[in-house]
């Protein structure tokens, strides 16, 4: 994963194709990292829910509730990474809308009314 970040940092965004490939790469990496974080959160929650804690330390808070609270941080990180991936797609979409001139056909009517 570290090599991916080095490659991303070295990319020069000087043309639309480079920006597209950069955004596509970030989206794919973000999706992969999000899946890993989500999987590890599930595994961590499962492992921590079986750990016994000395009596009286956390009151009536069950081990499952504590495990869920700990794993929720990884789940939130996974959501944040997913959001970052979505924003890179939005970045390219907005770039395309505002900076790329598309040749469009003359507008044609979508339907004809019967005469």
pTM for the predicted model, two decimal places: 0.76
Residue 83: pLDDT over 70: yes
Residue 47 gets the label, from left (phi > 0), alpha (psi -120 to 50) or beta, of alpha
Rounded to whole angstroms, the Cα distance separating 101 from 47 reads: 54
Cα–Cα distance list, 69 to 65, 75, 78 (Å): 6, 10, 15
Token pair 């990884």 in the structure block, residue: 74
Mean pLDDT of 73-85: 96
């Amino acid at each position: 994963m570290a090599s991916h970040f080095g490659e991303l940092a070295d990319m020069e965004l000087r043309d639309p194709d480079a920006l597209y490939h950069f955004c596509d790469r970030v989206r794919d990496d973000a999706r992969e990292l999000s899946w890993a974080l989500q999987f590890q959160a599930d595994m961590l929650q499962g492992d921590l829910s079986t750990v016994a804690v000395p009596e009286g330390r956390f009151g009536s808070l069950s081990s499952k509730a504590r495990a869920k609270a700990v794993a929720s941080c990884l789940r939130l990180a996974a959501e944040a990474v997913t959001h970052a991936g979505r924003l890179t797609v939005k970045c390219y979409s907005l770039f395309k809308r505002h900076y790329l001139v598309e040749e469009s056909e003359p507008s044609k009517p979508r339907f004809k009314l019967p005469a």
